[in-house]
Amino acid sequence: MLEIKSLCASINGTEILKGLNLSIKAGEVHAIMGPNGTGKSTLASVLAGKEDYEVTSGEISFDGKNLLELSVEDRAREGVFLAFQYPVEIPGVSNVNFLKTAMNEIREHRGLPALSAKEFLTLVKEKSALVELDASLASRAVNEGFSGGEKKRNEIFQMAMLEPKLAILDETDSGLDIDALRTVAQGVNTLKTGQNATLVITHYQRLLEYIVPDFVHVLFDGRIVKTGGKELALELEDKGYDWVKA
């Protein structure tokens, strides 16, 4: 589904990713771990198409398409979803209006008819229950005045609504208490099918107790330096990152 080959990317002239390779197939859950400042969030931003980052070399193909040639919105329409580490507050734009617009633009891209108001509301009810998101939040402005936990639930709620092929969870565990973490993880697990894939970016092993990865990669200095199964996460927790650096 996703093939990243020798990816190099920089921001303001500073190279962050230095030849990253990663391959994700449908049905898989991958985790990327690593200390702060090694390029984890850069990878997430580059995949979503954030303009601040410049891809200097390498390739990313997504379902056979050259992802780097697609605009931010076209990547989303093709099925890439980034759950933001810091979800953005947008005063004046209601969550419902925002999601409805997003869903209908994505559906149009896929040749599907727009949802009726009733179909949409039924989905909102069903999917917000999945992450135990208070239904009243759906009618408020996007993320405005949401607690940290509510913002993260809202990200997963959006993911549930948009049904992406590839979900990238960027530090979704940060700022979550254990109950919220469990709910969010449960939501992600429920959404898992044989046709979609998940990329979990985290620097703690904690989240991986709930979202069990098929592969764990260690990102260090812009490259993946070690890949293993779920037990690698435990080993890292035990020995620290210095162990892989060596």
Partner 1 sequence: MMGNLIAFREQLGDTRLAMPEPLSREAKDGIERLASFPTTRDEAWKYTRLARVAALQLSPLAHYQQPEPSECSETIDVIFEPHGWFCAAPVEGLIIESAGNLAPEDWQACTTCGHVQYLNTLAAQGGACLTIKAGYEIPKPIRIIHRAKGENFAMVLHHQINVEPHSKVQFELLYEGQGQEAYANILVDFFIAESAHVHVDKWQNTQGTHYGFYNERIYQERHSTFCLHTLTVNTHFTRNDVEVFSQGEAAHTKLYGVFLGGENHLIDNHTFVHHMAPNGSSDENYRGVMKGKAAGVFNGKVKVYQHAQKINAFQSNRNLLLSSAASINAKPELEIYADDVKCSHGSTTGQLDALALFYLQARGISKEKATEMLVGAFCAEVVESVQSKHIQRAFAAYFSS
Under 8 Å between Cβ of 218 and 233: no
Which listed residue (7, 76, 138, 191) binds partner 1 by CB under 8 A? 76
Angle between helices 148-162 and 95-109 (to 10 degrees): 30
Q: Please state the φ and ψ torsions of residue 180, each to the nearest 5 degrees.
A: -65, -40
x/- string (CB under 8 A) for partner 1, residues 113-152? ----------------------------xx----------
Q: What residues between 45 and 74 interact with partner 1 by CB under 8 A?
A: 48-51, 71-73
**What is the rounded distance in angstroms from the CA atom of residue 195 to the CA atom of residue 186?**
18
Helix (H) or strand (E) holding 214: none
Q: In the complex, what is the shortest distance from the CB of residue 101 to partner 1, in angstroms, rounded to a whole number?
A: 6
Neighbours of 88 (CB within 10 A): 9
Which listed residue (3, 54, 63, 105) binds partner 1 by CB under 8 A? 105
Tokens linked to 220? 């260090």
Q: In the complex, what is the shortest distance from the CB of residue 242 to partner 1, in angstroms, rounded to a whole number?
A: 34
Is the CB of 93 or the CB of 225 nearer to partner 1? 93
**What is the rounded distance in angstroms from the CA atom of residue 32 to the CA atom of residue 9?**
17
Which listed residue (13, 64, 88, 194) binds partner 1 by CB under 8 A? 88
Is the CB of 34 or the CB of 87 nearer to partner 1? 87
Which listed residue (37, 59, 90, 147) binds partner 1 by CB under 8 A? 90
Residue 112 interacts with partner 1 (CB under 8 A)?
A: no
Q: In this chain, which stretch among 8-16, 43-51, 57-65, 231-239 interacts with partner 1, using CB under 8 A?
A: 43-51
Q: In this chain, which stretch among 62-70, 93-101, 199-207, 213-221 interacts with partner 1, using CB under 8 A?
A: 93-101
Tokens linked to 23? 């391959």
Q: In the complex, what is the shortest distance from the CB of residue 122 to partner 1, in angstroms, rounded to a whole number?
A: 20
Question: Identity (one letter) of the amino acid at 100?
Answer: K
- How many Å separate Cα 213 from the centre of its chain? 14
Say which DSSP state 36 is in: T
Say which DSSP state 212 is in: -
Which listed residue (33, 106, 185, 201) binds partner 1 by CB under 8 A? 106
Under 8 Å between Cβ of 198 and 169: yes
Helix (H) or strand (E) holding 102: helix 95-109
Where does this chain bind partner 1 (CB under 8 A)? 48-51, 71-73, 75-77, 81-82, 84, 87-88, 90-93, 97-99, 101-103, 105-106, 109, 141-142, 158, 162
